[in-house]
């Protein structure tokens, strides 16, 4: 993990503040953040696998942390590796458009 410059951290903090303000208007907002050592949380199981099958998930380091901000809801957080980023964005967009709150 590399350390972020003070300027980069300040820019990220400002962007997150704008995202929170936008989310407060009722618009769900997906924010791509820097990882801080997390492991990818995405499941490698086939989509048709039964829910009773335990999934160990992906073990690669996360390269992006996706944060979904919605009005009146806890922030949902998904650390993902580069290989799962597109799948995660797609599924989170569907989730954000249908989830209550």
pLDDT digits (tens, 9 = 90+) for 14-67: 999 999 999 999 888 999 999 999 999 998 777 677 777 777 789 999 999 999
The predicted structure's pLDDT at residue 66: 95
pLDDT digits (tens, 9 = 90+) for 60-95: 999 999 999 988 888 999 999 999 999 999 888 888
Does the structure show a pLDDT above 60 at 1?
no
Contacts of residue 94, defined as CB under 8 A and 6 or more positions apart, other chains included, come to none
Confidence of residue 99 (pLDDT cuts 50, 70, 90): low
**Long-range contact list for 10-18, CB < 8 A, 24+ apart?**
16/67
Separation of alpha carbons 28 and 81, rounded Å: 23
């Amino acid at each position: 993990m590399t350390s972020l410059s003070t300027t980069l951290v300040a820019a990220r903090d400002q962007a997150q503040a704008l995202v929170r303000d936008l989310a407060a208007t009722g618009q769900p907002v997906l924010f791509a953040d820097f990882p801080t050592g997390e492991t990818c949380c995405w499941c490698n199981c086939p989509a048709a696998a039964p829910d009773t099958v335990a999934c160990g998930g992906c073990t690669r380091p996360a390269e992006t942390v996706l944060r979904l901000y919605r009005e009146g809801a806890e922030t949902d957080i998904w650390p993902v590796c580069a290989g799962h980023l597109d799948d995660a964005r797609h599924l989170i967009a569907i989730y954000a458009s249908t989830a209550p709150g």
